[in-house]
Amino acid sequence: MVTWGVTEPTAGAVGTASTYVLGATDWCDSAPASALVDGDERTAAGSEAVDALAGAAAELAVPASAARLGTRLDVGERRSLDASTHRLVATHRADDRSVVATVAFDGAATATRRDDHVDLSFPERTPVTIAVDERTADGDPVTVPPTPSGLAAAITAMSGAHSTDGPGRSHPSNRRRRRPSNSGRPSMCRRQSPPIRPASRWFPRRRSRRCSSSRRSRTISGPR
């Protein structure tokens, strides 16, 4: 169970095995909020009860070993958010436990990923809802027999470390999005530009001296 508490200017949560603290600037309490993990596609074994807290802040520092804001947020990345609904999911790992904090808010903001946390800056004090889920890791070893079923069980167990409950290697939101390529489709430049002709076709061929002399001789020997 994660117990929430707020100490100016810091909002924090204390777990059973570790302390989880969120830094907040200009924090203000509000009514209790419901958990924000509904609708999340992830599942995790050993997940404990989820607590939530609602308030308002001008800045938040959310501890994170891994973070995603729609897509994965890499260290050193700075992302400007428009005035719509956003949800930051930050995973903080410590010992054999991990704390997943979900921060939901409406409005413009700037998210900057640091080495060990994510900075959220708002243009003004903005209402936020924070849910915390403390998860325990299963320390029992997995024995893999040399059979197809044993291999399938091993792949399933390995995927749990990447927030998936199946044989997928990672959750889709943790994967980098590749830029769409134009392979197989002619580009606009190629369709509009004329085809390149060989250089020899652009220059007229020189007339040989033999040909010009023969023409001259025929002109001179002709009747006057």
Residue type, 130: I
Residue 51 CA to residue 130 CA, distance in Å, equals: 8
CB 133 within 8 A of CB 48: yes
Q: What is the pLDDT of residue 195?
A: 58
Q: What is the pLDDT of residue 19?
A: 61
| Each residue's pLDDT tens digit, 125-146 | 999 988 887 766 555 677 788 8
- Residue 44's pLDDT band, with cuts at 50, 70 and 90, is very low
- Residue 105's pLDDT band, with cuts at 50, 70 and 90, is very high
| Each residue's pLDDT tens digit, 177-206 | 555 555 555 544 445 555 555 555 555 555
Look over the chain and give the mean of its residue pLDDT values, rounded to a whole number: 68
Residue 161 CA to residue 149 CA, distance in Å, equals: 20
Q: Where do the domains of the chain lie?
A: 3-139, 140-171
The answer on pLDDT for 10 being more than 80 is no
Using only C-alpha atoms, the chain has a radius of gyration, in whole angstroms, of 33
Higher-scoring residue by pLDDT: 219, 110 = 110
| Each residue's pLDDT tens digit, 65-81 | 889 898 888 888 999 99
Residue 218 CA to residue 210 CA, distance in Å, equals: 12
Residue 190 CA to residue 192 CA, distance in Å, equals: 6
- Please name the residues in contact with 22: beta carbons below 8 A apart, sequence gap of 6 or more: 10, 11, 12, 13, 60, 61, 62, 63, 101, 130
Q: Out of 14-28, 38-52, 81-95, which region has the weakest mean confidence (pLDDT)? A: 38-52
Give the residues across from 24 on adjacent strands.
60
Q: How many residues does the chain have?
A: 224
Helix, strand, coil fractions of the chain, as percent rounded to 5:
20, 40, 40
The answer on pLDDT for 43 being more than 50 is no
| Each residue's pLDDT tens digit, 160-179 | 555 555 555 555 555 555 55
CB 20 within 8 A of CB 132: yes
Higher-scoring residue by pLDDT: 211, 135 = 135
Q: How many CA atoms lie within 13 A of 31 on its CB side?
A: 2
Average pLDDT over residues 207-213: 53
Tokens matching residue 102: 């979900």
